[in-house]
């Protein structure tokens, strides 16, 4: 995923980033991130949908991140087949978060 983003002109995201909340507690590790914009990019493999315990943990984890104002781009195998779709989604999320930051 990282190479797809960089090859299409996006800035290099951080890999396997450990994220802590405002209170210092560990929220989780994300596959790729633009921490300055609080964007997490996560690959959702088949096991995330097929294993109920994993699915429920994922929901709780995302809620912890969202409480800290992190946004997610969830990536599936289809996004890796259609790279432009992935790149467009990440570009849009970066633009949204950049404009949000400028308003604050």
pLDDT one-digit tens code per residue, 67-80 = 999 999 999 888 88
Task: Give the gyration radius of the chain's Cα atoms.
Answer: 14
What are 30's strand-pairing partners? 17
Please check the confidence at residue 2 and state whether its pLDDT lies above 70.
Answer: yes
Alpha-helical runs (H) found in the chain: 2-7, 47-50, 52-67, 77-81, 83-103
| 29 closest CA partner among 42, 44, 38 | 42
pLDDT tens across 7-61, in order?
Answer: 999 999 999 999 999 999 999 999 999 999 999 999 987 665 677 888 888 899 9
**Spatial strand order in the sheet of 26-34:** 14-20, 26-34, 39-43, 71-75
| 38 closest CA partner among 14, 11, 69 | 69
- At residue 24, the pLDDT reads 96
- Residues across the chain: 104
- At residue 44, the pLDDT reads 83
Identify the CATH number of the domain defined by range 2-98.
3.40.960
Does the pTM surpass 0.85? The reply is yes
């Amino acid at each position: 995923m990282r190479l797809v983003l960089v090859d299409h002109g996006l800035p290099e995201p951080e890999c396997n980033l450990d994220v802590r909340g405002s209170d210092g507690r560990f929220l989780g590790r994300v596959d790729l991130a633009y921490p300055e914009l609080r964007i997490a990019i996560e690959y959702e493999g088949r096991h995330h949908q097929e294993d109920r315990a994993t699915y429920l943990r994922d929901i709780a984890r995302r809620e912890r991140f969202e409480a800290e104002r992190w946004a997610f781009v969830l990536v599936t195998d289809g996004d890796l087949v259609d790279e432009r779709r992935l790149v467009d989604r990440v570009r849009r999320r970066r633009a949204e978060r950049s404009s949000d930051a400028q308003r604050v």
